[in-house]
């Protein structure tokens, strides 16, 4: 493989741009079991709305002391330091909630607002995310004006002038590439968009697993990986039965898994 066909992410892994697959990361050398192949902070991330009072909205640690934002009464923090660190973006949510007290800020709206905020600070980010895998969900595109109306109070707060088609497109990118953030041996409680991790292929029998420290992602090998081998992790829980894995992958990522584990189930006679 030529250098032009590779996009090195570090000394151990690279994107295989010559592959016909949408996503493929290969090992540049033999990788032992238990090796961290990638560490990454998210471009955007948020605690899931259902868990907003259980985890810090900045560092994502479980809350022992709850400091609720006194203005919007929405976000929670573990310390004054975390609250101050998060205020750069959160002040716009506060302003929107103040102007529209009954505003329903869903997890996807929060992530989309964060993404627009980051793009406003650095316009090159939009070029980067537009290179990520994405499929346009028909239902979302048909209801793009309604989505825009839901976003409108936050757009006003951010002083961003955009249109409904762009909002729907950014939401589709987030949907197709976001990862679930979870504590060890527990259900997910947050979401994050990781640019480099978005380039890894899914496998129901992967050679890597995801670990989190707050919202910092660590992709770690769970068995030896040979040089040139495709590096994979599972987008969903590998403990789910085939039928449920198939439904979730299709509904969330529009993905039909063709891994060995799934193909074995398909060929078993009824």
pLDDT score for 71: 86
Q: Average pLDDT in the 226-242 region? A: 89
With contact defined as beta carbons under 8 Å apart, do 26 and 156 qualify? no
pLDDT score for 182: 86
Q: Domain residues of the chain, as ranges?
A: 3-41+194-267, 62-177
Ramachandran area for residue 156 (φ above 0: left; ψ -120 to 50: alpha; else beta)? alpha
Confidence of residue 6 (pLDDT cuts 50, 70, 90): confident
What CATH number labels 3-41+194-267?
2.170.270.10
pLDDT score for 73: 84
Residue with tokens 């640019």: 195
- The 10s digit of each residue's pLDDT in 90-141 is 999 999 988 888 888 899 999 999 999 999 999 999 999 999 988 777 777 7
- The 10s digit of each residue's pLDDT in 156-173 is 999 999 999 999 999 999
* Buried/exposed code over 99-126 (b: 16+ C-beta within 10 A; e: otherwise): eeeebebebbbbbbbbbbbbbeeeeebb
CA distance 108 to 121: 20
Residue 61: how many other CB atoms lie within 10 Å: 16
């Amino acid at each position: 493989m030529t250098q032009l066909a590779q996009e090195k992410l570090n000394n151990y892994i690279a994107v295989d741009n010559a592959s016909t697959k949408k996503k493929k990361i290969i090992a540049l050398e033999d990788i032992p079991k238990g090796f961290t192949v990638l560490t990454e902070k998210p471009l955007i991330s948020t605690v899931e709305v259902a868990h907003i009072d259980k985890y810090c909205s900045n560092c994502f640690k479980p809350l022992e002391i709850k400091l609720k934002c006194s203005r919007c009464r929405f976000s929670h923090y573990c310390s004054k330091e975390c609250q101050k660190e998060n205020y750069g973006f959160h002040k716009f949510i506060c302003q929107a909630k103040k102007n529209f007290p009954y505003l329903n800020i869903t997890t996807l709206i929060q992530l989309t607002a964060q993404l627009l905020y980051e793009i406003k600070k650095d316009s090159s980010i939009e070029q980067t995310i537009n290179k990520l895998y994405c499929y346009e969900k028909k239902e979302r595109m048909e209801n793009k004006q309604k989505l825009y109306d839901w976003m409108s109070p936050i757009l006003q707060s951010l002083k961003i002038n955009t249109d409904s088609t762009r909002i729907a497109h950014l939401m589709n990118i987030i949907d197709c590439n976001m990862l679930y953030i979870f504590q060890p041996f527990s259900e997910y409680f947050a979401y994050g968009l990781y640019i480099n991790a978005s380039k890894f292929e899914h496998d129901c029998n992967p050679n890597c697993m995801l670990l989190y420290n707050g919202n910092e992602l660590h992709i770690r090998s769970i068995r030896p990986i040979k040089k040139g081998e495709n590096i994979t992790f599972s987008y969903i829980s590998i403990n789910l039965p085939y039928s449920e894995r198939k439904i979730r992958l299709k509904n969330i990522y529009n993905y039909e898994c063709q891994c060995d584990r799934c193909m074995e189930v398909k060929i078993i006679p009824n």
